[in-house]
Structure 1
Amino acid sequence: MSKKQLFTLEFPVRCSPGILYEFLSTPAGLQEWFADKVDEWDGVYSFSWNGGTPDKAKVIDKEEEKFIRFHWLHSEKNEYFEFRIEKTEISNQTILVIKDFAEKNEIKDQSQLWEYQVKELFHRLGS
């Protein structure tokens, strides 16, 4: 049984949900900010960094312009990482919500890694 915990990060983004979803759900979009090389075959995405061995993740759920949830093939069955697009009610601002799992003592490091990645995403979006 895994000791990993679910954690959530939220990032306001100045971008339409449609454009943001493309960056979160397509190999070309993910390759812009998330990994050096991204391929997809039959719902399984292959992510490579620095020419290393690819990590594979299966899309387990998605809704166009709302969210996409991946499961790393090497991780526990109940673990996933998710990109969710929400809108605030009052200001109608777009919020990127990232959910991921990490060991309790690794959540801070994992959060910083996501923050770095999201900064790269915002740079690509011009946001």
Structure 2
Amino acid sequence: MTKATRIKFVREYPINASAKLLYPYLSTASGLAQWFSDEVKIDHDKIFNFVWDGRNHYAEMTGLRTNRSVRFNFLSEDKKPLVDAPYIDFSIESSELTQEQFLKVVDYSNEDDMEELEELWDNLMQNLRETVGG
């Protein structure tokens, strides 16, 4: 079996919402289910299950900093850590100069079509902005 090549997609999206308002949409199952995934469940081991197109994708929340950032490391189908695991990292950043808020997204995944990934995230960010009113 050949190892999948992963790419790192990094973008900053301006978002008109405070970190305090935005953070629950990035760090809770109910918040994430509103814009990021078809459904999000958390099992008794605190493993997140992101459901897209009826398929389960398990992830562990790591690197949690309240009202600042959160990272999800994706796991194998049997919920075990992977070597060079795909992850999604959200961090809320603000410009001191303009007082604008940005959501920085780092998507380290198997997706090899950069344009498709960009389109996906543009759509997700549109969902998020509509959800938070930003």
1:116 counterpart SS class: helix
**Change in 2 beyond 3 A, CA 1:91/1:111:** same
Q: Give the deviation of 1:67 after TM superposition.
A: 0.4
How many residue pairs are counted as aligned between the two chains? Answer: 126
Q: How does 1:11-90 map to 2 (within 5 A)?
A: 11-41=13-43, 42-50=45-53, 52-74=54-76, 76-90=83-97
Distance 2:55 2:8 in 1: 26
Question: Residues 39, 7 of structure 1: CA spacing in aligned structure 2 closer, same or farther, 3 A cutoff?
Answer: same
| C-alpha spacing 1:22/1:121, structure 2 compared with 1 (3 Å) | same
Structure 2, gaps ≥5 residues long: 77-81
Question: What root-mean-square deviation, in Å, do the aligned CA atoms of Structure 1 and Structure 2 show?
Answer: 1.8
- The share of aligned pairs that are identical, in percent, is 27
Moved more, 37-46 or 109-118: 37-46
**Aligned residue number for residue 113 of structure 2:** 106
Selected match of 1:122 from 106, 113, 129: 129
**Which ranges of structure 1 fall in alignment gaps of 5 or more residues?**
none
SS in 1 for 2:8: strand
2:97 partner letter: I
Query: Which amino acid in the other structure matches residue 72 of structure 1?
Result: F
Give the TM-score of the pair, scaled to structure 2.
0.84
Runs of 4+ in 1 over 2 A off after TM superposition: 74-79, 102-105
Cα deviation for residue 102 of structure 1 reads: 3.8
**C-alpha separation between the residues in 2 aligned to 1:46 and 1:104?**
19
Select the structure that is richer in helix.
1
Which SS does the other structure have where 1:123 is aligned? helix
Question: Please, what TM-score do these two structures have when normalized by structure 1?
Answer: 0.89
